[in-house]
Amino acid sequence: MKSIIITGASSGLGFETAGKLAKDKNNRLILACRNLQKAESARSKIISDTGNEEVTVLVLDTSSLSSVRAFARQYRDVFGTADVLINNAGISSQHSGTTEDGFELVFATNHLGHFLMTNLLLPYMSEMGRIITVSSDMHEPPGGIEWKGVEYIAHPDKDDRKRYSYSKLCNLYFTYKLHDILQEQGSKITANAFNPGFMATTNFAGGHMDKTRALVVKTTMPDRFGDLEKSSDALAQIAVSEQYADISGKYFDRSTNTKETSALSYDTSNREELWRKSLEYCGLTES
């Protein structure tokens, strides 16, 4: 039986992907969520829809490093090995503030928590494990983005509306660096990024966009618009289908097709800086 962890699985992309994966009763789903009540409701719905009883809820708040550590300990104690880790939980730039650990909220939630959890669980991943981190085409927002260093992103001295874009760029730097490390180690574990696109019907997009406005977005931003059904189906396939077992270091764009990311996302010095500073922030040491 495959053990599949999905963060932020109580709604939207995470929930839909979990439901698709649960249709195969050889898959065990671990819904890693901040809101226990919503997660339990999601669990009940998935079990009712699929008949798969192997659906478990574990509390996880990726904005809190202590919560991430507690989750990793609990997961290892209960399940041991992980086969698939889908780093999906995220918040938009509508959120702002500083976490209990002193980091900018969006950076901590979308990048740092997943960075720590992946590193803590990596020794427990199965030989052919898969790590998929949900990024976004907003890593290259309209008007572009300038890399101002990790310290600026983690501890900004002013409100920056591009904080979401920075976090999604960090997701790519993390994925590409993790892929390099795994390759150097001769590991068969894969690391990929996935862009679901802008989905008007999810809570992330407000969850209340009417059909007319959604059509406007789809018409004016066809390269950014995403369909929840199609994106969740693609993400589920990438997570478990054998044809993706050997694909690593790639960016899947709203489908099972890969594409190149922005020129900035391939900057190796930025990638190294983020990895080094993230280790420092999480209290980890370079292996």
Measure the CA–CA gap between 213 and 193, rounded to whole angstroms: 28
Q: Which residues are catalytic?
A: 164
> Residue-wise pLDDT tens for the chain (287 aa)?
999 999 999 999 999 999 999 999 999 999 999 999 999 999 999 999 999 999 999 999 999 999 999 999 999 999 999 999 999 999 998 998 999 999 999 999 999 999 999 999 999 999 999 999 999 999 999 999 999 999 999 999 888 889 999 999 999 999 999 999 999 999 999 999 999 997 665 544 444 445 555 555 556 556 666 789 999 999 999 999 999 999 999 999 999 999 999 999 999 999 999 999 999 999 997 65
Report in angstroms the alpha-carbon separations of 82 from 27, 75, 226.
11, 9, 29
User: Which strands form 55-59's sheet, in the order they lie side by side?
Assistant: 55-59, 27-33, 2-7, 82-87, 125-134, 190-195, 251-253
Kindly report the pTM of this predicted structure.
0.93
